[in-house]
Structure 1
Amino acid sequence: MNKKLLLVFLLLISLSIHAQNITILNSQNKEPIAGVAVFNIDKTQSEISNLEGEVSLNTFKNEDVVFFKHLSFQEFSATKSRLVKAVVVYLDPSTEGLDEVLISASKFGQVKRDIPQKVVSLSLEEIMFDNPQTSADLLENTGNVYIQKSQLGGGSPMIRGLSTNRLLITVDGVRMNNAIFRDGNVQNVISIDPFSIQHTEVIIGAGSVVYGSDAIGGVMSFYTKKPELSYSKDASFAANSVLRYATANNEKTGHLDFNIGLKKWAFLSSVSYTDFDDLRMGSHGPDDYLRTEYVVTENGVDNIVENKNPKIQNPTGYDQINLMQKIRLAPKDNVTYDLGLYYSTTSEYSRYDRLIRYKDDHLRSAEWNYGPQRWFMSNFQFTKLSSRSAFYDKIQANVAYQNFQESRIDRDYQSTTRNSTEEHVDAISANLDFEKQLSLKTEFFYGLEYVYNKVHSYGREEDIESNIIIPAISRYPNGSDWSSMSAYTNLKYKPSSQFVLQTGLRYNHVIANASFEENNVFLNLPFDTADINTGALTGTAGVSWIPADIIQWKLNFSTAFRAPNIDDIGKVFDSEPGAVVVPNDDLNPEYAYTGDLSVRLNFEDKIIIDAATYYTFLDDALVRRDFELNGASYIEYNGEDSRVQAMQNAAEARIYGFEAGIQISFTEALKLTSQYNVIGGYELEEGEQSPLRHAAPNFGNTHLSWQHNKITIDAFAMYNAEMSYLDLAPSEQSKDYIYASDADGNPYSPSWCTLNLRTQYKFNSELLVTASLENITDQRYRPYSSGISAPGRNLILALKYTL
């Protein structure tokens, strides 16, 4: 096997003879390899490479033969005397790429097969090949995440029947969820630039022990590119540029990133700009989705005009810019400091599903827009390795500040009153995480976290004729705050290579304060404040067992909880036509109990089958239900008599499902992969069952790919089962304007299937071209719960140049 290994040494400036450190990289993508076991022949000396792929050879003798072993790479060995003369070792990936080292499960590198939960990942190469328009589309390409869209500038993930504020999004280890993440669909994930991402990991199932409240259904972790130090005495420079064009929405995208590396300092800069026009839907499908007319305002007068091309979803276009600056300092071999600055902003863009609603015989809204969605984050990270500390082998500290800005502007057809709300959230977080190897068989992870959010919210009404602006009710209680304090432990016990036990506990305490004095001028609530002061101990226990080379079993049990946030206790919003959500000061946390079992069969790397089943019980579920305010079931809101609703602990939920995947390697070049997800569930309230709102219809994909030398071809199908009227949740049944009509005139979500072809050609190490033809048969379809139809036939061209 050694003949198949690639070992390339880059001769660098002579380092201190006492340091004797080397860096281990992937021979294909030049990424650091964490978790490589480095040991001598009798295993009296051993080390593990860190997240930067670095390992020290100080404890080895000069005459030792040093072995490098990692489940995802081919084994290699060389004498220490040879290794200390070099700085970089390249390892070849093994034929089976499903045992890579993942970070998200414990915040430190672990081999995938040791993790009892299901974790799916996408590498940089896979992301570049998938060529997603947004990070929401990137998640969809994992095959296990369902994406809902209310507008082109959107993308709300659903995982195993849970979504929005029951799922956690992290960027470089920092939680993106904030105090106003709602129970409805959220589009914050589009603020993450897909061109800046190095790799993505998705924990399928509860991650509350490591990540706390919000991580009931899963954790989506995005890891952006890191600045690279120079491996020579001279400064290094590298750059990537990308141009992309798509026909369905006339997308025009440009991206540039460049890295300057010194011996101890490195700088990475990234900028992306995207411009989208209105999205064109397909030609073959329900006529219900066609956009036959829209509102045009000229000289202050609203008119409904005919859409000359009903397949154009007018208006849906917008533009977006993403910036990132990262700096790395490595003053010592075992210490690094990382600073990251991130900024994303969109233009104002329409919420398309609100613009297609009708009232009486005309369109309901003349305008319904989101203001620019802005996100800023500064993240400072300190990492230190220590072989002497009794408390840790690795310590990682994160301090981050984030600012979120969003707004909503709407005006009814032929109304002179424009309503708008504006929100700003300041979020501060601090994490301290430790890793300690207690023995050759036992690893211990533990940490602390503190999060604080401050919410600023404003409302106003503007008369577009007189330009008079008056204060109005705000979406959230202005000046409210939400904080979380927590501590966790996680133990990994691996008595043999065939068996791993992982278990952990976390205590999370949440405090929230909201004052309604400003909004009570308009609402006259029976209370002026609402407070949350609650905590919970959650736990997880799981095993990974490989009784034979052909089979692996994984079994995991977990508990999770989510405390109400400011959106739950204090939001005021028209949730649907003729309904308004009002605050509720009597809310408790919701709790989840989940068990999942998976099996993996590997027939000599020729056929690999994955299957998993799971069951979640959600107790005291926070749901939106009819409510009374001061004894009244209806109040006037934005000039309309509206049914009063509020978030309540009014239901229980049962969620269950089955997931299956297969990979068949016909030859080394030709492979077939397929993934299918079956999701079921219901809410139980006062003895009555109703369908679960975020339980997506059965969905899946099948890929037939061929890779040879410089070319890769992927022919694939994506498909989605029907969701009948009776299978729709009551809140979805009332949204007939986003669904097709069945034979009885009731809304339903039809099944759909698209055929697609994607190719990539590497001219050389510098030039890469990707071309995709999606939805070849030009199907007109709308994913479940989405308010905008998917793209019709879409040609996507991308050109990447690396310097």
Structure 2
Amino acid sequence: MFRLLASFLLVLITNYSFSQQIKVVDNETNKPIENVYIYEKYNSILTNEFGIADLSEFKEKGLIYFQHPSYQNLEMNFIDLQIQNFIVKLHSNIFPIQEVVVSANKWEQNIKEVPLKVHKIDKAEITHSNSQTTAELLKSCNQVYIQKSQLGGGSPMIRGFAANRVLLVLDGVRLNNAIYRSGNLQNVISIDANSLESAEVILGPGSIIYGSDAIGGVMDFHTIKPLYSTSGKTNTYFKYKNRYSSANNEIMNHTSYNIGKERLSFAGSITYSDFDDQKMGNHGPDEYLRNEYTIKENGTDKIITNSDPKSQKQSGYNQFNLLQKVRYKASENTDLLYGFHYTTSSDIPRYDRLIQYKGDNLKYAEWYYGPQTLQMHNFQLTLKKANLLYDSFKLTTAFQNYKESRHDRKFSSTTKRNRSEKLKIYIVNADAEKKLSKSTHLFWGAEMTHNRLRSKGHSTNIEINTFEEIASRYPDKSKYSTIAFYSNFKRKLNSNWTLNTGIRYSHIWINSELDNTYYSFPFTNLDLSTGALNGGLGVTYNSNSGWDFKFNASSGFRAPNIDDIGKVFDSEPGKVVVPNKDLKPEYIYNVDFNISKNFNQKFFIDINAFYSFLDDAMIRSDYSFDGQNTIIYDGVESEVQAIVNADNAKVWGINFQCIAKINQNFSATANMNYNNGEYKDGSPVRHIAPMFSSFKLDYKSNKLSSNIALEYNAKIANKDLAEVEKDKAYLYAQDMNGNPYSPEWLIVNWNNNYQLTNSINLNFSIENIFDKRYRPYSSGIAGVGRNFVIGLQYQL
């Protein structure tokens, strides 16, 4: 009788255990992991998008196994599962076997079948980097070089291209607009790194899928997505995160949440970051020191001595980000998603202008960007019911309200110039995927954009507080519109070979009217209508021995925008850029070759080489304005320049990466990027970064993730500086001949994440341990000195 009762209780307990739902999450981020293969002797199941699986069919006692290509294998018994409340944590694998990317065709694909060079930044990497801004996050992946004119900045350089020659995409919507300039841009910091789920960087042209501006590469960012409930209960998630950094007294607070029912879910986040003046390192060039700065005292500008020259006075700012999403499952095949993005900042000092001298005095008393504000509404409809035209279809509509402004006043002047821009941007994207056969996929889509610009200018007399209209930066009420169609074809020829080919046609219209109130333009109409056709062909070969080969030949383009054809501005002291209505698109022709090998999950090597030819390049060049080579601009006789299709350039380079698994806990990663380029006259291309590399030693255990990282930048000698950089000597150190150059530098960082409990994660880092004083190439502000970073993340 006792044995029978015991057997009955054992069966009852066993069945109770088996009926439990199990949740599988990432050990570092606590994020759910989809498609984990769970099996035992007689049964198997995959986790859903929420990391959940039902083990009610698992009747056998014994071990249960967990497998996922991006994570280390795990085996557990039911007693262990009960102890852990049926939450299983998997440790990431340093060698993901079949990583999935979205950016290549806007639909999920195995990266092994994509001929483009794509680097994925997953949630674990985002969490571990603990970056202050999204610019810093891109820098941490060691594939993108970041230039900074000011602390509130970060201009990505990819393969010798930057600004409006690289494309930013946020949740499927392009951020590049009609006034993205060819100089350095800081717009990437508007994206909140704390709200990102993942990011992907395409190295090289991405114009087939993304259109204009995707010449050097594409940075595709994906923010958190609302998750539904699968258990009948409300799925809730809450995270709080804060961080303090000593080098600029950063204080960051972030919260995010998810509330999900079976058909309706909400997700959102709020982040506020405040940065004080940034402190540079102790050991390095004296030219970078901030020895003096300006203040206004009793109505008079004064230059005072900086008591701490390592403190980069007047560089601090703050930033606010808000994200809210609502998701509704209308049916099993229809998903609706609305997203609201809002970001703004305080005034952002233009630090590189504030350290500029005119004679013995600082040139500017004030130079700052006004609050950079982006408000975006994004609605997405996804259909997954197959028909003649598609198996999956995605319609994305977006509206952006964008504002930026510039404000400057010269030292001892009573006149302050103010120029502001407001853009209303409308975007519609349609993207579809159709499986034509077991081995053939067709991707097709269309895009329409429309930009409406308001541009104003006025000066203020700061003594008597009077206002006067001045020339705006751009022609007011300008319009910029595009329409495009694309198709991409993928065929798996056999188990080893995959073929990809695609084509896109884009058409661009610009309508602007110049105002002759302030300048006597020889023309007033700036209408432009032009088209661009581009395509590509790529193959991948995945050998049975583990060697993977990729080859891709493609073209890309950048169409002229309002900034190119209609701007009047001072590009540098004594030079002024004027409008040019005869601009045409510039084209890039690119070939890529990639080889990689995974040696039994112990050692991984990846080598990528490319060559690009930029034709009809839009560059600043000497120009005549109404027959004159010089004009008076802002009271100064200035040489006339314009953006013209007057050049071509060749750019080439190599990227090397290797990863070594030393043992179960230790691994090492090395990266090296070398690019070079020149225009047809042999002069260097401006946005070619120096050779930069990194080495990282990682340690991972159940609770602790730690790494020591070395970052190295090679020297750029004066003879190798672009001419436009030589004219900005105040940004650079001086060589033994007194000429500007960019010195080499090496910094060492130590980063630690400790999982204190299932809910609490602690971060402690020391950046630039040896307090090196350095300034990245072409930057106006020096990098952080020794920087202590402390962070806390609490998650429910």
The structure-2 alpha-carbon separation of the partners of 1:30 and 1:293, relative to structure 1 and needing over 3 Å to count, comes to closer
Counterpart of 2:9 in structure 1 is: none
Shift in alpha-carbon separation, 1:50–1:107, aligned structure 2, 3 A:
farther
Matches of 1:615 and 1:650, distance apart in 2: 21
Q: CA deviation at 1:537?
A: 1.6
Structure 2: gaps of 5 or more residues? 1-16, 39-44, 54-64, 75-85
SS at match of 1:530: coil
Q: Relative to 1, partners in 2 of residues 1:729 and 1:164: Cα closer, same or farther, differing over 3 Å?
A: same
Distance change (3 Å), C-alpha of 1:470 and 1:746: same
Give yes or no for contact 2:655–2:671 (8 Å, CA) kept in 1.
yes
Deviates more, 1:188-197 or 1:29-38: 29-38
Residue 95 of structure 2 contacts residue 604 of structure 2 at CA under 8 Å; is this kept in 1? no
* Cα gap change, 1:499 to 1:282, in 2 (>3 Å): same
Specify whether residues 664 and 70 from structure 1 end up closer, same or farther in structure 2 by C-alpha distance, changes over 3 A only. Answer: closer
Corresponding letter in the other structure for 1:513: N
Identity %: 44
Name the residue aligned to 1:44.
none
Name the aligned partner's letter for residue 620 of structure 1. D
2:702 pairs with one of 698, 709, 728 = 709
CA RMSD of aligned residues (A): 2.6
Change (3 A) 1:23 1:452: farther
- Counterpart code for 2:787: N
Q: CA deviation at 1:23?
A: 11
The equivalent position to 1:510 in structure 2, one of 498, 508, 511, is 508
Q: Return the alpha-carbon distance in structure 2 between the equivalents of residues 717 and 238 of structure 1.
A: 36
Structural mapping, 1:507-656, within 5 Å: 507-516=505-514, 518=515, 520-656=516-652
Pairs within 5 Å for 1:207-606:
207-387=206-386, 389-516=387-514, 518=515, 520-606=516-602
Matched residue pairs, number?
755
The answer as to whether partners of 1:68 and 1:75 remain within 8 angstroms in 2 is yes
> How many Å apart are 1:28 and its aligned residue?
7.5
In the alignment, residue 180 of structure 1 is paired with which amino acid? I
Deviations 1:481-535 (A, max 9, x none): 111101111111113332211111111111111110x3x2111110101122111
Tell me which residue corresponds to 1:683. Answer: 679
Q: Per-residue displacement from partner, 1:85-112 (whole Å, max 9, x unpaired)?
A: xx99999866621531111111000011
1:127 alignment partner in structure 2: 126
Per the TM alignment, residue 249 of structure 1 is displaced from its structure 2 partner at its CA by 0.2
2:747 maps to which of 750, 754, 773:
754
CA distance 1:480–1:727, change in 2 (3 Å): same
CA distance in 2 between partners of 1:53 and 1:245 (Å): 32
Instruction: Give the partner amino acid of 2:678.
Output: Y
1:631-673: CA deviations, max 9, x gaps? 2222121222222111111110100001101101110210010
Report the CA distance shift for 1:468/1:29 in structure 2 as closer, same or farther (over 3 A).
closer
TM-score when normalising by structure 2: 0.91
Distance 1:25 1:334 in 2: 26
Going from structure 1 to structure 2, the CA distance change for 1:732 and 1:377 (only over 3 Å counts) comes to same
Q: Partner residue of 2:182?
A: 183
Aligned-partner SS, 1:523: coil
CA shift for structure 1 position 315: 0.5
- Residue type at the aligned position of 1:433: D
CA deviations over 1:561-594 (Å, ceiling 9, x no partner): 1110000001111111111111111111101000
**Structure 1 residues 33-72: aligned runs within 5 Å:** 72=70
Specify the SS of the correspondent of 1:473: coil
Give the conservation status (yes or no) of the 8 Å contact 1:658–1:677. yes
Cα deviation per residue 1:453-501 (whole Å; 9 max; x = unaligned)?
A: 1111001111111211111011111111111101111111113332211
Change (3 A) 1:98 1:626: farther
Q: Contact conserved, 1:229 with 1:264, CA < 8 A, in 2?
A: yes
**Structure 1's 573 and 542: CA in aligned 2 closer, same or farther, altered over 3 A?**
same
1:765 is aligned with what amino acid? N
SS in 2 for 1:690: coil
Aligned counterparts of 1:294 and 1:276: Cα–Cα separation in 2: 19
1:291 is paired with a residue of what secondary structure? coil
SS at match of 1:493: strand
Please give the alpha-carbon distance, in whole angstroms, between the structure 1 residues aligned to 2:201 and 2:18.
34
CA offset at residue 215 of structure 1? 0.6
Q: Give the stretch that moved more between structures: 225-234 or 213-222.
A: 225-234
The letter for the 2-side match of 1:404 is Y
Q: Distance in 1 between matches of 2:172 and 2:19?
A: 31
**1:521 partner SS:** coil
One-letter code of the match for 1:714? N
CA distance in 2 between partners of 1:283 and 1:130 (Å): 24
Q: Shift of the alpha carbon at 1:269?
A: 2.1
* Aligned residue in 1 for 2:194: 195
Distance 1:523 1:764, change over 3 A: same
Task: Answer yes or no: is the 8 Å Cα contact 2:317–2:346 preserved in 1.
Answer: yes
CA distance in 1, matches of 2:47, 2:168: 27
Aligned to 1:118: 117
Measured against aligned partners, the alpha-carbon deviations of 1:14-54 in whole angstroms (never above 9, x if no partner) come to xxxxxxxx99987886757678999xxxxxxxx99998899
Task: Map Cα deviations across residues 378-400 of structure 1 (whole Å, 9 max, x no partner).
Answer: 1000111114x122111111000
**Residues 559 and 48 of structure 1: is their aligned pair in 2 closer, same or farther, counting only changes over 3 Å?**
farther
Check if 1:768 corresponds to 2:761.
yes
Does the CA contact (< 8 Å) of 1:51 and 1:109 recur in 2? no
**Cα deviation code 1:332-359 (max 9, x no counterpart):** 2221110000100000121000011111
The 3 A distance-change label for structure 1 pair 745 and 26 is closer
Separation in 2, partners of 1:135, 1:551: 33
Q: Distance in 1 between matches of 2:442 and 2:329?
A: 26
Structure 1 residue 718 corresponds to structure 2 residue 714: no
Q: Are the aligned partners of 1:378 and 1:400 in contact in 2 as well (CA < 8 Å)?
A: yes
AA in 1 matched with 2:544: A
What is the one-letter code of the residue matched to 2:167? L
- Identify the residue that residue 61 of structure 1 maps to in structure 2: none
Residue number in structure 2 paired with 1:108: 107
- C-alpha separation in 1, matches of 2:432 and 2:425: 23
Match of residue 797 from structure 1: 790
Distance 1:430 1:250 in 2: 41
Flag the 1:485–1:109 CA change in 2: closer, same or farther, 3 A.
same
C-alpha deviation, 1:620, in angstroms: 0.4
Check conservation: 1:538, 1:559, Cα contact below 8 A. yes
User: 1:236 and 1:386 mapped to 2: Cα distance?
Assistant: 26
Give me the whole-angstrom Cα distance separating, in 2, the residues matched to 1:660 and 1:446: 33
1:35/1:111 contact within 8 Å kept: no
Deviation of the 1:68 alpha carbon? 11
How many angstroms apart in 2 are the aligned matches of 1:276 and 1:579? Answer: 33
1:728-739 map, 5 Å: 728-739=721-732
- Distance in 2 separating the partners of 1:369 and 1:494: 53
Q: Distance between the aligned counterparts of 1:93 and 1:515, measured in 2?
A: 56
Normalized against structure 1, the TM-score is what? 0.90
Against the structure 1 CA distance between its residues 69 and 287, is the aligned structure 2 distance closer, same or farther, given a 3 Å change threshold?
closer
1:742 to 2:727 alignment: no
Q: Distance in 2 between matches of 1:239 and 1:689?
A: 56
What secondary structure is seen at the aligned counterpart in 2 of 1:689?
Answer: coil
